[in-house]
Structure 1
């Protein structure tokens, strides 16, 4: 208990300090993007990765909080995926390449011996989808970080309930590191996670969800996993359907995500972010309650129904056209990213 509190505190402050330092570096290198007329730094992801890996690694190395083989492998694969995201923040990386790397990393973390080959392959595909969906949640200040924090805390509770100490430790440290970044990334953000932070957080959360629920019954397991990631899943579904209907390539960014459409409905930026964060909290709470067997798996059907209704309603809300493509540059030049 005491180590858990100390580890979370250390991860929070380390991420906060690193984010402040990396913000200055990002501004000097030109690793930035423009949001609502403001220039924000893109290097928040490395702060989260370093804080998570260092604190979790020290606990494992000292033997105070061993991660175990599965969680250790998950952390290493997550760092690799985050490194890919950092490259994508600095220069264009084609979507097929990103998907291939995340797929290979996911294949290293999925417990095929428990799930079997067919279900394991589905799990790999789902991890890839959720990892990229969390990246896309970073389209508005604080949204991805808030959703990832509540998901990580809920998943940590699920892992602890299953006496999976390694994943529980890793997830609690990740939640604390993301909270440290949010100290600089809340609206109006001075630094954002970028693809690096989105891919790392999404990959670790999705892979941990599969790992924690691999031995569970199919109904409660699938229901809990869906509820825990409902915001990212809904945003991905909204964007996929919207761009397909508009005849736009999926890789061509546009302002057609959840927060963009909520803003069109008249919500303020802060109001839209709070609503999405509250929805993420509600989904994570339902997922944790299913895991704890306090509610049945059918509770996930209510979450799914609400998500479907929300997506259908938001599809009728106008969305802005594609963003102007831009190449990453350094040396003080502004970078414009597509999502």
Structure 2
């Protein structure tokens, strides 16, 4: 299957599954109701994550380009997505969710998938688990405004595909294009005003899968360790910054980090006078700048990437 058809299939499946999932969500009460610590002003169905997962799985399955690494990442992300779905149905304790994230990340590294950061295997295993858990939580936290998490994921995945535009990266490209297509198909219904949310099922699945793309294919282990460390960070700079910002702010305020609130980066931009859509678009722009800096640095050197970021 050509890359274009793979992308179109993932997009189309995610797109066509959203309307029936909306009806199921309303019929079963799987909706997010307005609350003091939430941004939505009306009840919104929560089953969008299932459209994401289905779109990715079917397109990867028919592509015939998925190997062990792709199936490991996708299967683990789906397991975590199912944990998120249970959390959407019956909220889990934060410690329970974290424990599941660690368990699923451990499953990945036991399949010999890890970041190649050093010659110390145990160090690489620990950093890989940290990366998977951190990005899962970062996207879970970032899903705080219409279209934000899905759009930021799509931008990161788009740049990730640019890095894969070369021989020998077919398997990784299959995973990235499936995730990209499904994210954009879902985003049609999730951009403000959102008609469906991805829920914890979608945000935990998507965050883990985006992190997992760093473990499949050439990324970019042929270059220096600095590239291996900083390029993935640049591609996901918005969710990582938002998670760090919220964690520090809530800790300083004496609030539990896991408690929801209107204190995210997106909410601060709205408080400064931007509309909801404008705030999301500003963060899209910052994510695009991070991706462009990563690609420029990889292609032409850190000095060029640094100039672009300025």
- Against the structure 1 CA distance between its residues 67 and 22, is the aligned structure 2 distance closer, same or farther, given a 3 Å change threshold? same
Deviation of 1:208 after TM superposition, in Å, equals: 1.3
Indicate whether 1:98 and 2:97 are aligned.
Answer: yes
Residue 235 of structure 2 is matched in structure 1 by: 228
CA contact (8 A) 2:145 2:266 kept: yes
- 1:73 is aligned to 72
CA shift, 1:301, in A, is 9.8
Q: 1:105-184 counterparts in 2 under 5 A?
A: 105-110=104-109, 111-112=113-114, 114-115=116-117, 116-161=121-166, 163-184=168-189
Whether 2:301 is the aligned partner of 1:295: answer: yes
Q: Distance in 2 between matches of 1:159 and 1:107?
A: 26
1:141/1:187 contact within 8 Å kept: yes
- 1:73-107 Cα deviation digits (max 9, x unpaired): 11111111111111111111122222222222223
Q: What is the correspondence of 1:1-339 to structure 2 with a 5 Å cutoff? A: 3-33=2-32, 34=34, 35-60=39-64, 66-110=65-109, 111-112=113-114, 114-115=116-117, 116-161=121-166, 163-211=168-216, 212-213=218-219, 215=221, 216-291=223-298, 293-296=299-302, 299=305
1:29 positional shift: 1.3
CA offsets, 1:19-40, max 9 Å, x none?
A: 1110111111111113442221
- Equivalents in 1 of 2:115, 2:246: separation in Å? 34
Q: What is the rounded CA distance, in whole Å, between the counterparts of 2:31 and 2:266 in structure 1?
A: 21
TM-score of the pair, normalised by structure 1: 0.82
Contact 1:157 1:168 in 2 (8 A): no
Higher mean C-alpha displacement, 150-159 vs 257-266: 150-159
Classify 1:225/1:301 alpha carbon distance in 2 versus 1 (closer, same or farther; 3 Å). farther
Q: Distance in 2 between matches of 1:300 and 1:98?
A: 37
- Tell me: CA distance 1:77–1:173, structure 2 relative to 1, closer, same or farther (3 Å): same
Secondary structure at 1:187's aligned position in 2? coil
Residue deviations 1:292-316, cap 9 Å, x none? x23327836985xx8xxxxxxxxxx
CA distance in 1, matches of 2:100, 2:146: 27
Contact kept, 8 Å, 2:50 with 2:201, in 1: the verdict is yes
CA shift in 2, pair 1:252/1:186, >3 Å: same
